[in-house]
Structures are given as structure tokens and as C-alpha cells.
Amino acid sequence: MLIEWLTPVELHGKEFVYTPQVDVVSPKSISAGELDSTRKYEFIRVYGTHEGETRASYDDLNGRHDLDPIEQSKVGEVRLRPYAHHAARFITSQPAQVMMSSAAVVKYAGTTEGGGYIGAKYDGWGGAMSELVPRDRWSTFAPFYASTHPAGMEHHINVVTDSAHRNDVFLKNGTQFVFDQSIPNTDLIWGTMNVPAGVDNWLVARNGARFSGYVYGTLTKGGHEQWRPGMVRDRDVDPPSDAHSSGDDARDADASAAMHPSEYEEYLGISYAYPLASLQNIITVGDSLNIRSTSDCSGTTLTITSILPDPREPDPVGLRSVRLENPINAKIASLNPFPVTGSTQTTVLVAAIDPRQDASATVVIMDRTGKIARVAFTQLAERIVIDPPARFDFDEMTPGAPRSLSLNVTNPLGRSVTVKNIRLINRNPAFSIVPPLPVPLTIAPNGLIAITVRSNPTEPDRVYIDTVEIELECTLWKIPVRAETSNPCVNVGDLDFGTLLPSQSRTLPLMICNDGGGVVTFEGQSGGSVIEWLLTTFTISQADIAKIADAQLSRGDCITINVTFTSPSEGVFRTTARLWASTRRCRDESNWIARVAPITAAPAETGVVNSLSAVEPNPFIDATDIAFSMSRGGHASLVVYDARGERVATLFDGERNAGTHVARFDAMLLPAGVYHVRLSVDGWSETRSVVKR
């Protein structure tokens, strides 16, 4: 089965090349005997597709041959012997379409069965057809492929080019395609090769070469058909003259007898052919293009109008494509209409991918004839360098203590940069640009300007943010601004050493915490100690003093040191210890008290000391238990404060006996956060932190 198809008239041409199929049934010589079992003809059909007569001729080994004039919608046909050297060039007087097809081959293969003549069988190879591509549409690249199905096929490719480029057409693996057969009276040369099935391949032309051709294949052993009649003669000398496929008589008048049912078998002799991919160019004079270019911050806009080169032509052919060649940081941002094929009025926006980098490209505009126009695109970037790295970070600040930070904005380009505006986007009152810069302003090549931001936050425990925006002609540059105000809160409890015997020693823990924000540090005044008190009966080891000096307490952090009391004398000993912290907010003083009395004067002791013991659980969700001990009976209070130092709960406030006690802290109605529990007993106090989740 052969199918003819017509391409659009504007793709028709005037010069075509025919090359014969070279396969298992191609004649290898001109001997008449060989033609009995090989392909006898291949057909070239010239289709008249334009008004009036189309005249056609072809050049082959025997010179030039003219075809009869071909009317529009009519066909002129040439029948050629498909010898390898019978390639030919066809030329028409006006654009036409040309097809080639190969004749089928049928070969007698003997009788059926193995005895006398009872039937016949034949082998056959089908024909195939392909378009001959006009030379104006020959390609520079073409993929090709041969299927693995059905099995038993052989595949070939014919390729033609001009003699000057016989060494410039390459296969996928980089080897040259071999052109070894010239076409008489032309500048053309062609070649053929086998195509392996199931392998992707391609041809590519270099150095200005162009080529065309087609791929084809057929069954190596061909198709097959055989017929066996149902009745034959007893004397099987000649074919039966009156065979029957059925009948009640076992033998008829001419001695024919039923041997078996009539049978017919056929296996198709499949063949195929298809042309290599070609340029889909309209074959006529290309349009003239009116191209207007305008540039702004978005890029360069090209307005392309197709103009008739010849007023006698009915319409412009329109565009085929718009693409970028050698783009550097460039893209086609918009194309209207899209797709552009056939458009005679087109708008193209070419822009930088990153507007902060230079961009360049060549805009390649091709119309439907393949005619190309090129337009250069260049966009110089607006670029600045910010030093130090682009961030105004004031870190932690104290409310009411303003600070300023500056950075330099440098123009690294070889041309001036215009700054249209510099502003704080959010207008946060905690920040200001000082002094305000007179915008617009110009930064000279390799010049710089300084931008100074002043931060003056007024509220504690807040984070302030904003953004400095530098507006150039086409780009925006943004610099984050951040400041955080802390409100550190140093908190230390009191110590009550109870009543001791003369020279008896007792050591109590002292907890120092930061119950606010920021960081609390410790440094003595004028080289003094970080903690000072008057009475020498109270002592702290040098290691614990160094521990305080090295401490940096963030929000909720605590350290614990040991304070020891001993005195050989009787009496009540009181002193106040002062911590030299980076803040005096909350409580930086601790009151210490101890009593020394002889045994006869001392009331009974319980063997325990005043202490705020473990809090379980900690952290907690709704409630927790707080254990504490009292060395002797007396007045005590257990109070809970939040992180701001405000009282949120009094767990008890009254008289308690000596010993260990447990209080319940129910915080179901309180928000999550850090809370501080303070136990106070007769002037002694201790604080612990708990966390509600």
C-alpha cells in the first residue's frame, strides 16, 4: 500500500534529487536476466501545484530529458531503471512537489508440496514511497531511526549533498558519511549505508554544508504467498483444467480427484520509506522587516513589522521564530503573539535574567522563508557594593542610649549610577538616617556614599526591625536594620544561718539569677571584688568569687556559690553583701544573718537548716510541688514572682514549725514562662526558678 501526501504549496521547490533504493531486490547490473528477479522500475512523479504549465526535466547518465508539460493538479511521471548510477537531478520551471516510489517485486518460487504440480507459490517485496525534498529546504541536522519490528528487515539510508562538502556531513559517532557516487552533469554527490535497527542516530552538517535523503527498508527474505487447489488429476502432468474445491463425486469426468481442501496463504512483503527532516521554509523571497527598538528598566522591546519586498506579492510570509544567540544573562521575557509562526506584527521583550549583572545576546529573527535578521541586545547592570556586609545590626541596646552605625555604598562600574531615593521602608521611629541624604544623587564611577543609621529605642525587652531601601533607576537594594533592647534583672536571695554554737561552722548556698532579658555580667569597682560585705565571720572561697566574675547570665540563667559562717564569739551577726553586676535592676544585695549562743541558752534544734529544696516537676504544665525546710519554728513566707518581678501568687505567709514542708503551686491560669519562688524565714531568704510550659 502506498500513500501520497501533499505538503503546503509554499514549501514546494524547483530542484530535487532522486537516488535509487539499494536493497536486496535492487538490480546490481543491467543484464536482462537479473531484472526478472529484481526491482524493474522506480517511479518519479512531478505534481503541478501552480497555475499554468509546469515544465520539468532531469539529468542522469544519459544527459538531459524533458517531461511533457504538466498542468496544475496534474502529474508527470518518469519510470527509471533503479541502477546505482541512475541517480538524477530534477528541475522544474515553477515550484512543484516531487515523489519517488519503488515498484514491487514478485518472484515465482515453485510448486506447493513436494510432488507433481498441484499449486504455485511466490515470494514478494513491496514498494515504498518518499517525498523528494526541494534543495532550498535541505537540512543541516536530521535524526533517523529504524525500528526493530517486524524482525527480518534490512534498513538503508541514502544521503545527497554538493561535491564541495562531501567531507562535511557526520554521523552521531563523529565519523564522516561516505559520499562516493556522483550525479552526472551536476555538482551533486550521494552515498548509501546500512542502518542498524533500534539505534538512535543522526546526521549533522558543518562548514556550511546542507544535505537531504531518505531512510527505507524491506524484508530481507520478502513476503510469501502460495495456493493449493482442492482437486487435481491422477496424471499430474499439467495443471488441472477443471479443478473443484468441493463436490459429492469422488472423481469427475476429467479424472480429477479431491486431494485436500483448497488453501491460500499470504505473508505481506512489507517495505517503507521516509524523508530525512528538512527545513520547513517557504520557498519565496523573504520579507523586509521594520524593527523598532526601545529600552527601559524592564529590558529592550523590539517591535517587528513584516513588509512586502514585492508589491505584487499578496501577503508577507510572516515570521517563523525569534530566538537568542549566544545569550549571557539574557532571556526572552515575552513574545506576542505566541506562537509567533506566521505573525507579521510581533513584539519581543528581551531582558536580563539577573538585573544586577550585565546582559547581552543577539536576537535572531527568522521569517518563514528562512531569511534571518539579527539585532544586538546589551543591558548594562546597575550594581553597587555595600561594605561592610549589608546589615545594620545594633545587637543589644539599652533603652535611652542611642547608637549609630554606618556603611559605604560603592559604585564599581565604569559609569555613573543615579540614586533616586534612600528611605526606611517601615518608618520605625526607633531608627533614622542621619543626616538625611539629598536625593536624587549621583555616585561617580568607583565613587561611594556613606549611609548612617541612628538607633534610639525607648522600650525595654523589644526587638526593633526595619529596612533601608536604596532605589536606583531600575533596581532596588535592601539593607536590614535590627536592634534589640534588653532589661536584665539580677536577683539574689538572703541567707539565715540560724543559731550556732561558738566556733561552729555552717555553709549555705547562695543563688544568683538573671530574671530579665539580655545578659548580666559582673565586674568589681576600681579593681575591687565582684561581691563585697563587711563582716569577716562570713566567707566565700576565691574559686566561688572567680565563678561570679566569669559568669554571663542570659535570661533565666543562675549560678550558685557557697557562703560559710563561723564565729568564736556569741551574738547576732548581720551583714549585707553587694554584687557588682552590669545592672542594678531588681535585687543586687543579699542580707546574711547568723546567731551564736551557748548550749544552755539555745532552744532545741531540729538538725536541719533553712533551705528551699527541690521543685518537682520542673518544668511543669499546670502545677508543681515546692519543698522547703526550716531549722526552727517561726514566721515564714513562700511567694511566686514572674519574670518582670511582679508577685503572682503567695503560697503561704505565717507561722510554721521546724522541719520539712511542701507547698502546692497551682499555675493553671498563668501563662507559660519563667517564675521565681522565694522562701523568707526570719530575715533569711532563698529563691529558685521554675518553668511553666
Q: Note the pLDDT of residue 310.
A: 64
Q: Would you call the peptide bond into 150 cis, given omega within 30 degrees of 0 as the criterion?
A: yes
Query: Parallel, antiparallel, or unpaired for β 476-485 and 392-397?
Result: parallel
Look at 350 and 7; give whichever has higher pLDDT.
350
Q: Is the pLDDT of residue 277 over 70?
A: yes
Identify which of 3-17, 250-264, 307-321, 460-474 has the greatest average pLDDT: 460-474
Cβ contact 306:390 at 8 Å: no
Look at 239 and 511; give whichever has higher pLDDT.
511
Segment 458-480 shows an average pLDDT of 90
Q: How far apart are CA 625 and CA 621, in angstroms?
A: 12
Q: Note the pLDDT of residue 591.
A: 94
Which range has the worst mean pLDDT, 221-235, 532-546, 616-630? Answer: 221-235
Domains in the chain, CATH or no CATH each: 10-219 (no CATH), 288-379 (2.60.40), 385-485 (2.60.40.10), 490-692 (2.60.40.10)
Segment 253-277 shows an average pLDDT of 70
Q: What distances in angstroms separate CA 243 from CA 117, 231, 233, 236, 256, one per listed residue?
A: 13, 5, 8, 12, 7
Q: Is the pLDDT of residue 18 over 50?
A: yes
pLDDT tens track for 174-198: 999 999 999 988 999 999 999 999 9
286: confidence class by pLDDT, cuts 50, 70, 90: confident
Q: How far apart are CA 495 and CA 561, in angstroms?
A: 12
The beta strand positions in 236-371, using DSSP E, are 256-258, 263-267, 271-275, 288-296, 299-307, 319-328, 330-336, 345-352, 359-367
pLDDT tens track for 120-174: 777 888 889 999 999 988 999 999 999 998 888 999 999 999 999 999 999 999 9
Q: How far apart are CA 267 and CA 39, in angstroms?
A: 19
User: Which residue blocks in 522-606 are alpha helix, DSSP H?
Assistant: 542-550
Cell digits of residue 359: 546582559
Q: Note the pLDDT of residue 468.
A: 95
* 495-500: strand order across its sheet: 495-500, 589-596, 571-579, 531-532
654 alpha-carbon distance from chain centroid: 71
Identify which of 48-52, 84-88, 191-195 has the greatest average pLDDT: 191-195
Q: How far apart are CA 76 and CA 44, in angstroms?
A: 8
Look at 489 and 162; give whichever has higher pLDDT.
162
Which range has the worst mean pLDDT, 67-71, 463-467, 644-648? Answer: 644-648
Q: Note the pLDDT of residue 264.
A: 64
| Mean pLDDT of the residues in the chain | 86
Q: Is the pLDDT of residue 110 over 80?
A: no
Q: How far apart are CA 222 and CA 226, in angstroms?
A: 14
pLDDT tens track for 661-689: 888 888 888 888 888 888 888 767 888 88
Look at 263 and 584; give whichever has higher pLDDT.
584
Which range has the worst mean pLDDT, 156-160, 241-245, 365-369, 405-409? Answer: 241-245
Q: How far apart are CA 427 and CA 436, in angstroms?
A: 13
Q: Note the pLDDT of residue 253.
A: 53
Q: Note the pLDDT of residue 240.
A: 46
Predicted TM-score of the model (pTM): 0.49
Cell digits of residue 656: 510554721
Segment 372-390 shows an average pLDDT of 88
pLDDT tens track for 524-564: 988 889 999 999 999 999 999 999 999 999 888 999 999 99
> Cell 528538512 identifies what position?
278
Segment 441-452 shows an average pLDDT of 94
241: confidence class by pLDDT, cuts 50, 70, 90: very low
Q: How far apart are CA 189 and CA 186, in angstroms?
A: 8
Q: Note the pLDDT of residue 180.
A: 93
Segment 277-288 shows an average pLDDT of 78
Those residues whose C-beta lies under 8 Å from the C-beta of residue 501, and which sit 6 or more positions away, are 596, 597, 598, 599, 602
314: confidence class by pLDDT, cuts 50, 70, 90: low
Q: Note the pLDDT of residue 555.
A: 80
Which range has the worst mean pLDDT, 25-34, 210-219, 382-391, 396-405? Answer: 25-34
The beta strand positions in 555-683, using DSSP E, are 558-566, 571-579, 589-596, 611-616, 623-630, 634-642, 647-656, 659-666, 673-681
Q: Note the pLDDT of residue 250.
A: 46
Q: Is the pLDDT of residue 256 over 80?
A: no
Q: Note the pLDDT of residue 161.
A: 97
247: confidence class by pLDDT, cuts 50, 70, 90: very low
Look at 258 and 188; give whichever has higher pLDDT.
188
Torsion of CA 454, 455, 456, 458, to 10 degrees: 160
Q: Is the pLDDT of residue 445 over 90?
A: yes
Q: How far apart are CA 11 and CA 138, in angstroms?
A: 12
Those residues whose C-beta lies under 8 Å from the C-beta of residue 550, and which sit 6 or more positions away, are none
| Phi then psi dihedrals of residue 591, to 5 deg | -95, 125
* Torsion sign across C-alpha atoms 663, 669, 673, 675: negative
Q: How far apart are CA 477 and CA 634, in angstroms?
A: 69
Segment 566-577 shows an average pLDDT of 94
563 alpha-carbon distance from chain centroid: 65
